[in-house]
Structure 1
Amino acid sequence: MSTTSNPYRGFRFPAEIINQAVWLYHCFSLSLRDVEPILAARGIVVSYETIREWSLRFGRTFAKSLRRRRPQPGDKWFLDEVFVRIRGKLHYLWRAVDQHGNVLDVLLQGRRNKTAAKRFFRKLLNGLCYVPRAIVTDKLGSYGAAKREILPSVEHRQSRYLNNRCEVSHQPTRMRERHMRQFKSVRHAQQFLAIHSSIHNHFQLHRHRLSASEYRVARDHAFANWRELAGLPSQANLA
């Protein structure tokens, strides 16, 4: 976030509260109405509609900053698509993660044909600016057709079972979809999922792979980065 201007200027609540609301909404399976009483328990009276506004305005900025700050992802990409029903019509959410489980990008489209796959590949390459060593997908033919044109030199592995890493990554989206009682529009869904994927992923530290001390260090580092990009003082400065 910019250091030359105050992005919280004009807002009635301080940056700390806005940051807390956005963090709660995107890191846990909570609806906007769930976040409202959590803040009320702390004496913060704010409507869920205000929290919605915060999550869109500041969440978008936080997500972009997190994507810029993240280290270069792994060289093995797992791609998958799942259907999302919006106002009774099927759409497809395309997602890519690396071998470490980091979400690389998401894209909501109305098709899952070759053209849609090519569009997703181009979005990935434009955002990451490097070519992977290998990609892993299910047996959808669109991936192979698009890969031959966009990534001809990259190894491509297709299997129903090798792609579980990406399929598991869809689970937080499914939980949020249920809480939100489905998305209201394609634009709203793409906007929310782009924000949610970046913020939620930032705090997914793979605890099962870390010792207790390693996990605490990783968690403190994640919170320090979060406070810095949100323009808040570090915990050390508050002590």
Structure 2
Amino acid sequence: MFNGRHFDRLVILLCVRWYLAYNLSLRDLEEIMAERGIHVDHSTLHRRVVHFAPLLLERFNRRKRPVTGKWPVDETHVRVRSRWMYLYRAVESVGRG
């Protein structure tokens, strides 16, 4: 997957991750990498994002846990300004059998 690339695979993954996760522009990433001593052009970063983002998404989706629609709710009431009010909160049931 990373054979024949000019930059180390960790640099590539870091740039792709930051671009996808933090709403950074490619020029912002170019500047951030330059501050760290890695000189890379924004067009190179764009090619890496276009190439690696679908591959990473496929790998992440394979390892992702299924999401269930069940959330148990605890019903409690608390006193707010001399009045009893209901407080609903969702309780995650991970690890409960």
- Which bin holds the TM-score, normalised by the shorter protein? 0.5 to 0.7
Structure-2 residue corresponding to 1:44: 38
1:176-187 → structure 2 map (5 Å cutoff): none
Query: Which residue pairs with 2:22 in the alignment?
Result: 28
Q: CA RMSD in A?
A: 1.4
* Counterpart position of 1:60: 54
Alignment of 1:91-106 (within 5 A): none
The higher-RCO structure (CA 8 Å, 6+ apart) is 1
Amino acid in the other structure paired with 2:15: A
C-alpha distance in structure 2 between counterparts of 1:61 and 1:29, whole Å:
19
1:1-239 → structure 2 map (5 Å cutoff): 7-75=1-69
Provide the secondary structure at the position in 2 that maps to 1:11. coil
Distance in 2 between residues matched to 1:65 and 1:75, nearest whole Å: 24
- Residue by residue over 1:126-170, the C-alpha shift from the partner in whole angstroms, topping out at 9 and shown as x without a partner, is xxxxxxxxxxxxxxxxxxxxxxxxxxxxxxxxxxxxxxxxxxxxx
Q: Runs in 1 of length 4+ with deviation above 6 angstroms?
A: none
Comparing both structures, which one devotes a greater share of its residues to helix? 1
Specify every segment of 5 or more residues in structure 2 that has no aligned partner in the other structure, as ranges. Answer: 72-97
Identical amino acids, percent of aligned pairs: 31
- Segments of 5+ residues of structure 1 without an aligned counterpart are 1-6, 77-98, 100-239
Q: Deviation at 1:75? A: 2.9
* C-alpha distance after superposition, 1:98-138 (max 9, x if no partner): x8xxxxxxxxxxxxxxxxxxxxxxxxxxxxxxxxxxxxxxx
Matched residue count: 71
Distance between the aligned counterparts of 1:59 and 1:29, measured in 2? Answer: 14
Give 1:74 deviation, angstroms: 2.1
Say which one has the larger Rg. 2
Give 1:29 deviation, angstroms.
1.7
Deviations 1:14-45 (A, max 9, x none): 10110110011011021111110000101110
TM-score in terms of structure 1 length: 0.29
Structure 1 distance, partners of 2:56, 2:38, is 22
